[in-house]
Amino acid sequence: MRARHFDIAVIGAGSGGLSAAAAAAQFGCRVVLFEAGDMGGDCLNTGCVPSKALIAAARQAQAMRTAARFGITPVAPTVDFAAVRAHVQRTIATLAPHDSQQRFEALGVSVIRAAAHFVNDRTVEARGEHYTARRFIIATGSRPAIPPIPGLAEVPYLTNETLFASETLPSHLLVIGGGAIGLEMAQAHRRLGSEVTVIEAAAPLAQDDPELAAVVLGHLAREGVGIITSAAVSRVSSSGGGITLEVGGRSITGSHLLVATGRRPNIEKLGLEAAGIAVTPRGITVDRGLRTSNRRAYAIGDVAGGRFTHEAGYQAGIVIRSALFGLPARATAAIPHVTYTDPELAQVGLTERQARAAHGDGVRVLRAPFSGNDRAVTEAEVEGLVKVITTRRGRILGAGIAGAGAGDLIQPWVLALQGRLKISALASSVLPYPTRGEASRRAAIGYFAGLASNRLLRHVMGLVSRIIP
């Protein structure tokens, strides 16, 4: 069988694959892109985009309930769930052209709407045809990981892949998993009118700073989201048209069940063994330059152990520099993450716990609560704080923010970590007033607290005052 030859073959049309394909095509490479499912992958169709659209609708409903703090009579919103769902689908449709087959074909990419698998170390097959390439980029993403709970397979359950197609607002949504996805969807459904119970076998938001996570969890509890922690679901069953979970000796029944217990890389059907590509249950094994054990192939995004859309896009740039120009490139950027609850929780770099494990007592912890921020006070959103971790010499190790707009407020700290700035750079910045961003500057200024009582500094000031009258 005669194979078609390309410079770059990309397997997977999610965020990472599309970024890599577009960049390679714009540099004049012959590019082939394989995708058996929807263009845009999980992020556009069943992940980031629809979830944030649903969260936005829920936020409007909550604003109607809580208007009294501004002197406006609160009202109970009437939720038309069909219209909410139409808003979600309309949002996807608005953004879809950017990821469409037509756009990429206009860029010169050959788009093959079929799954591809390796037949040897330099050839893939799709729909019975062979394709060879100088370099391969595997970006097949991940899918929901379904835990082996007895009875789960016998009941109808939702994942992020099916949740946004649901036509009915749950009367009582059960959520297994207290990570970002589980809590975001729990709060959104609660605000739209559902009763919600979250069950987490360990600690909710366990990968975040506990002090910041407590801000989010406390707010969700006050809104009526039930959260059961350190309790595993031992059995699932159907009961009277509902779904019952056995949790720690008690039974909890709801109308719908959402499983949000992590992700699993899509690796099973790629023929990786035929290509000599090493793999573990966590995904494809890559080096710091994202190259696999097959020197012709790279892997990016969830399939290589990544977690975020923006991380996959960043990795696509790393791979393009290496694959097209032979430049040494390593994935070294500080990758931030955000939980889009209200309040939001954002983190980049080390948490306090991680910093103390790595540096012992040689760390400083700086805090600035939003209760002391004028803009937060004017908008009656004073929950939360900025928390920054530095070395004793002022090198920034990490930053976390819990509060309104935390996903936007974390961005200067991402830049500071990436540019290896010291805390003095943030402390000396001039920010517009009144903005929430001033809380970050206030936290940075906190590093210099105590200087006024430093005996050596006061001695120097005294010498200066005598020398310069």
The CATH 3.30.390.30 domain(s) of the chain lie at 343-453
The response to whether 234 counts as a known ligand-binding position is no
Q: Which amino acid would we find at residue 58?
A: A
Please give the CATH topology (third level) of the domain spanning 152-261: FAD/NAD(P)-binding domain (3.50.50)
Mean pLDDT computed over 440-467: 71
The response to whether 141 counts as a known ligand-binding position is yes
pLDDT digits (tens, 9 = 90+) for 27-66: 999 999 999 999 999 999 999 999 999 999 999 999 999 9
The response to whether 182 counts as a known ligand-binding position is yes
Please give the CATH topology (third level) of the domain spanning 343-453: Enolase-like; domain 1 (3.30.390)
**In the predicted structure, residue 454 carries a pLDDT above the cut 60:** no
Distance in angstroms (rounded) separating the CA atoms of residues 417 and 398: 7
The response to whether 379 counts as a known ligand-binding position is no
Distance in angstroms (rounded) separating the CA atoms of residues 444 and 422: 10
The response to whether 200 counts as a known ligand-binding position is yes
Mean pLDDT computed over 273-290: 96
- Read off the pLDDT band of 3 (50, 70, 90): confident
Residue 461, Cβ neighbours under 10 Å: how many? 12
Distance in angstroms (rounded) separating the CA atoms of residues 253 and 238: 9
pLDDT at 330: 85
Share of the chain above pLDDT 70, in %: 96
Q: pTM for the complete prediction?
A: 0.94
- Read off the pLDDT band of 450 (50, 70, 90): low
The response to whether 42 counts as a known ligand-binding position is no
The response to whether 467 counts as a known ligand-binding position is no
Which distant-in-sequence residues (6+ apart) come within 8 Å of 321 by Cβ? 327, 329
The response to whether 47 counts as a known ligand-binding position is no
pLDDT at 413: 98
Cα-Cα-Cα-Cα torsion 109, 114, 118, 121, nearest 10 degrees, comes to: -10
Of 267, 198, 269, whose CA–CA distance to 231 is shortest?
198
| 343 preceded by a cis bond (ω within 30 of 0) | yes
Task: Give φ, ψ of 429 to 5 degrees.
Answer: -75, 155
List beta partners, residue 420: none
The response to whether 269 counts as a known ligand-binding position is no
The response to whether 52 counts as a known ligand-binding position is yes
**In the predicted structure, residue 453 carries a pLDDT above the cut 80:** no
The single-letter DSSP state of residue 304 is: G
**In the predicted structure, residue 369 carries a pLDDT above the cut 70:** yes
pLDDT at 459: 54
Interaxial angle between packed helices 180-192 and 48-65, expressed in degrees from 0 to 180 and rounded to the nearest 10: 40
The response to whether 302 counts as a known ligand-binding position is yes
The response to whether 407 counts as a known ligand-binding position is no
Instruction: Please enumerate, as own/partner, the contacts of 93-100 that have beta carbons within 8 Å and a separation of 24 or more.
Output: 95/40, 95/44, 95/49, 96/39, 96/40, 96/44, 99/13, 99/18, 99/39, 99/40, 99/41, 99/44, 100/39
CATH number of the structural domain 4-144+264-325:
3.50.50.60
Please spell the DSSP secondary structure of 330-342, one letter per residue.
-------EEE-SS
The CATH 3.50.50.60 domain(s) of the chain lie at 4-144+264-325, 152-261
The response to whether 360 counts as a known ligand-binding position is no
The strand order across the sheet containing 337-339 reads 337-339, 344-349, 396-403, 385-391, 363-369
The single-letter DSSP state of residue 145 is: P
